[in-house]
Chains A and B, each alone.
Chain A
């Protein structure tokens, strides 16, 4: 027959669709398709749930405000964190000012009608404006927390995903290493290493590193050496549960490389775990930093951190309790907010709670 010359189907029993027979749907037909709800990606869905969580939202606003103020305030504030106000004319009246009090020369200026920027939190025992020190200390503490958490994330992510993805003997060996590091008492090791590294780095540091001080470098080092194991375990667990899914098999079958599968398919699907752990890791790093500062193993003077401010305030605790209360309150606020944000994220990303 004439028609059979050019067969419509490659194969008689093929399911191949003859596209020429299809016609576009009319507008009327399109309207009949009812959608249960708008389709969203998992991430956007989770974010929507997160925003609905009032407590977590308020905490996010607080954290954003704190971050903005520690970036902007040191630029516009008339005093510097290391500036001893009375030192120029060795004027002791600047030391240990109560909030909103002024030094002798400042009082004279004010009587002459000049505007003097107030010392909102007073000054410390060597006449440094306490407010800017708290702001700067918050900046240091937040920075330490953030970068330590980032370090933990990067190392844990790489280690955990390799271990989980490769599996077999490699996984066993890598996980035994994790087990051993995990069982080391981290805080004691941090103190030990801080003591030593501070002495080692004391003289050999230059530039930015010297500014940071041996203690902070050892803190980062220890976080990099010890704290990543928790993250590595989490990521490995996630990868293990994900790597046998069909879409990974599909990716493999079309020839995707291991690197591509890890970075394009597996890690994006671990994102929720990563974000939640990050949110909870930052407060733990801030805690550790303040703890070390308290023992005198924190940032180098005159640079303040919240922990070292609180520690320094302990000397005059009964005369100037506000100097202890303010940095403590800031630590409390930051850690509390980050904890609650972490909780909120966990609820938002947990599909079991999806309504």
Chain B
């Protein structure tokens, strides 16, 4: 202890105190404050950048979720549209089938009635022609047969008989 006290130099202590305080003040002004501020700024910058990245990531996730949702919606819509279209198609087919059937039926009926009337006309025509022909034939036959009297009478008789049967 005595050695320590003996070694203690007031002058060195004085200079150390003065120089150290001076150094502390100068360093505080010109070094430590700017350094610590710069380091802090940088750390804040990094923190902000990280937060921004996180934010962007979240945004991205939102966007992805949004697009996913939109896609889903679009898909559902497409599905619905397709379904609707199919339904419409089916309905249209059914409708047209119906219409076609009705139309066909109508046409068939028309055709049938036309055929009927044609037939009737044809039959009437045929009847007329047959009548004419028969009259002609009859005329010819009569002319032939009526060349003799007997024959004529017999024919008349037969005809009369036929008429009765009709």
- Note whether A and B form a binding pair: no
